[in-house]
Chains A and B, each alone.
Chain A
């Protein structure tokens, strides 16, 4: 199993919020066991998907000078199972951000209906050496699916 849990950043407001998209495909390996009669997207991976969109938004807001690593999860609730063929719309809001850490809250929705909600995910920030920020920028621009959005010069 790879560990990339969003396919596209649909919308992004620096320092504030982001919307990511994750398509759920029946080809994903874990569906063989989870579960063999009824494929359900594992709930902790919804948290991970929100955290990855959050981490992307935090790092991008800080001009790739920091990487965000999840260290705490508070109040995650799952209302409805997510199945192959669904498209998750991952909406996150940055609620705290300073040089030590950052926090988000978020919801995951399928066809406009909220299937999961997390009240708070807290991240520690790791400083990226200035010699490496361009690598993070390249990787994050690629993972956002918005290859065309930014030119290399800045």
Chain B
């Protein structure tokens, strides 16, 4: 059966792929559903069939047993914790061979960037607090009260609280955080100035 790939446009139809063992190069095929032409770079993994499943053999007398399943023979050691493990319990991550509990621990441990799945970019969130309301209403004057009393303090809090938090897997400078902090200070100062002016105006009115 010829190999096929999922249509990149509609993600539903199957587009015929070229023979990946014929050498590097591309093939073209049409999606039968959306009728769009796709250019396909196919690799041997597409047509090499399913990977043979690892098969652990039972442990014999005097042979090292797997740390997680003692009835099976151990064939390697986990690069994370050093436990002896059978092929069923071993998983590969790059050049490392890890047991499933180490793999789980690394995935859950947010400090290990090699396994990070998701980061909240607090500098972006802080910047959003002091700028998104402007996009929402279209006029600065109309949302100044919100920016001064809510958005500004929130952005300042986020900037201080998450100053040292990782800014994503790809390293970035503190530019966004600095802009957010500066804008938040401006908005807070403007709001305080407005309150001060109102208080002064009331005081001046009552005195006269």
Question: Does chain A bind chain B?
Answer: no
Chain A positions near chain B (C-beta within 8 angstroms)? none
